[in-house]
Structure 1
Amino acid sequence: MTDPNPRARCGNDPRAGWTLGDRQAVEAFRAYLAERGALRDRIAAALTAEHYRRAEARTVASPEEHCAAMADAVLAALPGLTDRAAVEAPLSPDYQHPECGFHWHGRDGMDIPMRDGQPICPRCELAKAEKKLMALQRRRDEVGAECRRRGKRVLEQSEQIGTLERQIDEVRRQLSAEILRAGQAEAELRRMADETQPEAETPTVTVHAVPLPGSDGISACCGRPPCEFVGERVTHDPDEVTCPGTPADAPAQDDPWPVQEATRRYAEELRATPSAVVADGHTGWECDAGASLIVEASTPGPGRLGTHHGVIYACPAHRDAAVERIASAGYEVDPRPAPPGHRWNPWPCGHVTAHGSKAIAALTPVQAQQDGAQS
């Protein structure tokens, strides 16, 4: 709320606040009172000590002498008066400073400044203050000049950075334009190449017939299993079959079929580790050809199909030897060609697979005989 009476308030007005000068005056008076109290305590202590000293010494003196001794004790308690009185001469009302030519006579309303109880020459103090101000001004001028120099350098660097950024932007613009033109030229070259290049012929995919039931998974068109039709198709429609038939490099039924080394090792491993249900062995004759014939050994009953006891894998040169081996053991013989798919990986000639220890003993005698003609 605004005071309707803007005039200065009296010191007794409770609404009046203290100014900075009021606070300083109060603080100075409080310091004065504290110093006065401390001085009084020192004087009282000095008088008490002097009184007890004279009483113990039983000093006999006149009242004047007694008061003078007590006054000396008081002067000794005052701070610095005794020392200054001994070394300093009393201040003359006529003050002069020959170094700077300052002269002052008497107290005409101007007080000489004092420091540590000694007069100070106002002219020298003014010269010192002017010297400090001049030094400060020189320092300010130097700092200002340095700030201007650094500011100018920063401005020049900023302008250089701006110039470089503009140059970089221009290079980027030119590079973008060159990339765009190169892309357009490449697209035009591709279009021209597509127009001049002849159309590529669509590769023909061979279509094979799906293996029929009972064919042991062999396709009827070329005698190969579907697992060998890499990149080709199979179909149930005979009209869609484009397979040319048996490959030219496929061995004929009467030609010796080569045996792969992995199959030969696998057959030897089977013969070396017989099983309780199925046993593998060898007829004993030496032949490196693959088996293109399967000669089965069986007995009649108990069903319509009879009982299968084993099989000898043989080449055409050892067909008769395999038939004679099975017939001499008392089994019915059923020689027939191996499935066409076996020609790519046939069993070795002379390998025997039998069901039971009796059949394996009959088809693989201990003393192997060389039966049949050698191819």
Structure 2
Amino acid sequence: MSHQATAVSGGKSALFYALPVVSLMAGLATRFAAPPVEDMPFLFEILASAVVTALLLSTVFAVLHHAEEVADHVGEPYGTLLLTLAVTAIEVSIIVAAMLHGENNPTLARESVFSTVMIVCSGLVGACLTLGGLRHGHQDLKRQGTSAFLSVLVALSVLTLVLPNYTLGTVPGAFSTAQLAFVSGLAVLLYAAFVFAQTVSSREDFVENLSSPAERVERSADGRRVGVNALLLVSGLLGVVLLAEQVAAGVENGLAALQVRQADAIMGALIASLVLMPEALSAIRAASNNELQRSLNVALGSACATIGLTIPGVAAASLISGRQLMLGLGPGDSVLLVLALATSVLSFGTGRTTVLTGLVHLVVFVSYLFLIAVP
């Protein structure tokens, strides 16, 4: 029986090591060698989409495995920060590539960033708090660290997604060149200061239990294996993003054929969901294991990085290419954004969360989804 369990475990481990490479190769093949989705026969398009989706979902679990291996080696909050930065860097590259090589879509960055913030602050946080509350009754968190997350997130969100509607330098919803460069610089500086506080000056505010020197020595003993995990993590993330683009392309063609309203908002939500999937699973698993602070580090860190790094990245591409960038949200989306942020501030103010706390966030998330379908 033990031999059978060992064989199953070994097969699972081998699969986790193979999937990131396979998904990356498949993603590159579909991106550069395969014919466009719209040129495929209908039945073949459905079959190809099903295979790509299955490979995508399987790779997400492999990415999660390697992310946890790296996190265990480097300790918190460095492990979750590594996953966050990797996902955000890939998301920036997708948006910039679409801006420079595709048809000009000035709202692409806005929809992607807004979708990420809403999915994280209402959907992902709500799921983590609800599942954690059902399993453990109530969960405690570090108020200092969570307050730092929220203060950075509120400042970045309002500066980049709301303020453009009220400036006078150009058309409503857009920054002038000087304003865009100024706000992008502020975003980078604020996020860099936050990362310094999270990893150096105030690390204890973001970690429930700091590791002992003996644990750090034990973690550093097998650096070569963790290096492989890190490489496979990046490969898997690249594969997930490339495959997600193919899935999204099929959905986009379907929405266009059906003449669905709010197609941009739906695509933004879909792409954000696919890209965030590894982080979402990591956060939900941490909350289920009664590691709420680690769960929030992953979830809220993703939202902060999305605004703090994505907006400056696409702003630089916009300034270099001369393409217009519309960042200001509409009235309805602005209300939803403020509601999600205000709910987060109130939810974490006591330092303790319950099932009710999570359900409040999920109500906001369901409202966001409903208003995409019925604007």
User: Looking at CA atoms only, which structure, 1 or 2, has the larger radius of gyration?
Assistant: 1
Structure with the higher helix share, 1 or 2: 2
Q: Tell me which of the two structures has the higher relative contact order, counting C-alpha pairs closer than 8 angstroms and 6 or more residues apart.
A: 2
Do the two structures share a fold, i.e. TM-score over 0.5?
no
Structure with the higher strand share, 1 or 2: 1
Name the TM-score, length of structure 1 as normaliser: 0.17
